[in-house]
Amino acid sequence: MISFKDFAVHPDTEQALKEYVAQPTQAMLLAGPSGLGKTLIANQCASALLELDPSKVLSSPHVRIISPQDGAIKISAIRELYNFYALKVVSQAKHAVERIVIIEDIDTMTREAQNAFLKLLEEPPENTVCIMTTSRLGGILPTIRSRAQTIRVQQPENGQIVRMLEPKGYGSADIELAMRKSEGNISKAVALLEGNETDETTDYLALAKEILRDDAYTRLLKVEALSKDKTYSIDLIDALSTIASAGIQSAAKKSDEEAVERWARVLKHVLTAQEAVAKNGNLKLILSELFLTL
């Protein structure tokens, strides 16, 4: 039985994966944007198909993983794969699947390598499954794609990502803002949260929290400087929206109706400001009105 309790997978993707594991075909192609954990999903599928603990997949003699080297998967890797396929599988337990190949970023495979790999797909060894990942379907030969069952790896719902990352000590507002800044790339969002990738996300969030704590007069003193940088101001307003949305959710969980109403008012004013900026309104006036109503 496949399980994704330790990381976030979109419900539709999870259902498709469960159906695949229940009735596996010779080849599966996990297709979706970068940073959604396709390699983790492939490992989890291998774990379920071979009935192995996930921590033992990488070291299993029944698993071969092929990854790009210097940005490409070359013909030499496919030659090694031919040798792996030629080996006789020795297993104490009889499973429907006894050998698995995981090919990461198959779209980086050279045309020569893809043509050689196609022959393996056309006549695969018995009880063998190939799991491939890609962020670029157009980089794969149509003949390879036609021989694999494609499962779309969709971006998980925001609530799933928040639930996954909150136990690590991150606040919901920080998580949501990092996801926006990373454009849905979970790996980049985690890097931002951990401080391993340069970004101004923390600055926006910190200033937004400071503004919410300030009195109206102190807020207005910040308007002059902020109005000179439209991009920064837009990101700041975006951070205020994220904080307000997180505040509503948190208050609702605690059944704190007063707090829900307070955060809802803040969000209403922030959304009004966002609309005004989108219409190219006077940024100084927009910020002044917003800061007076927070």
Pairing outcome for strands 149-152 and 99-103: unpaired
> Are residue 207 and residue 229 in the same domain, yes or no?
yes
Residue with token string 């210097």 = 70
Distances (CA, A) of 158 to 89, 119, 273: 42, 41, 24
Residue 283 has pLDDT above 50, yes or no: yes
Q: Which residues pair with 103 in a beta bridge?
A: 66, 132
Residue type, 201: T
> Are residue 15 and residue 126 in the same domain, yes or no?
yes
> Are residue 47 and residue 112 in the same domain, yes or no?
yes
Asked whether 121 and 130 are in contact (CB, 8 A), the reply is yes
> Are residue 190 and residue 138 in the same domain, yes or no?
no
CA 73 to chain centre: 24
Q: Which of 130, 152, 174 is the endpoint of a domain?
A: 152
Residue type, 228: K
Residue 196 has pLDDT above 70, yes or no: no
Asked whether 211 and 240 are in contact (CB, 8 A), the reply is yes
Q: For residue 248, what is the enclosing H or E element?
A: helix 230-253
Residue type, 96: A
Q: Which of 92, 121, 152 is the endpoint of a domain?
A: 152
Amino acid 103: pLDDT: 95
Give me 16's structure tokens: 């498709």
Q: Which residues pair with 64 in a beta bridge?
A: 101
Q: Which of 105, 126, 152 is the endpoint of a domain?
A: 152
Higher pLDDT, 218 or 44: 44
Query: Any residues with CB less than 8 A from the CB of 256 and at least 6 apart, and which?
Result: none
| Mean of pLDDT values over 49-76 | 89
Give me 267's structure tokens: 């969000």
| Mean of pLDDT values over 6-31 | 92
**pTM (predicted TM-score):** 0.64
Q: How confident is the model at residue 95 (pLDDT cuts 50, 70, 90)?
A: low
In a domain, 4, yes or no: no
In a domain, 5, yes or no: no
Give the total number of structural domains in the chain.
2
> Are residue 139 and residue 181 in the same domain, yes or no?
no
> Are residue 165 and residue 148 in the same domain, yes or no?
no
> Are residue 116 and residue 30 in the same domain, yes or no?
yes
Domain residue limits at 123: 11-152
Residue 252 has pLDDT above 60, yes or no: yes
Asked whether 214 and 282 are in contact (CB, 8 A), the reply is no
In a domain, 3, yes or no: no
What DSSP string describes 35-74?
TS-HHHHHHHHHHHHHT--GGGTTT-TTEEEE--BTTBB-
Side-chain half-sphere exposure of 155, counting CA atoms within 13 A: 16
pLDDT in tens, 169-181: 888 878 887 787 7
Q: How confident is the model at residue 198 (pLDDT cuts 50, 70, 90)?
A: very low
Q: What percent of the chain has pLDDT over 70?
A: 94
In a domain, 288, yes or no: yes
Q: Which residues pair with 129 in a beta bridge?
A: 100
CA neighbor of 193 nearest in space, from 212, 169, 214: 169
Q: How confident is the model at residue 27 (pLDDT cuts 50, 70, 90)?
A: very high
CA neighbor of 288 nearest in space, from 267, 273, 271: 273
pLDDT in tens, 97-138: 889 999 999 999 999 999 999 999 988 888 899 999 999 999
Amino acid 94: pLDDT: 59
> Are residue 188 and residue 209 in the same domain, yes or no?
yes
Residue 167 has pLDDT above 90, yes or no: no
| Mean of pLDDT values over 76-97 | 79
In a domain, 2, yes or no: no
pLDDT in tens, 219-238: 888 888 888 888 888 988 98
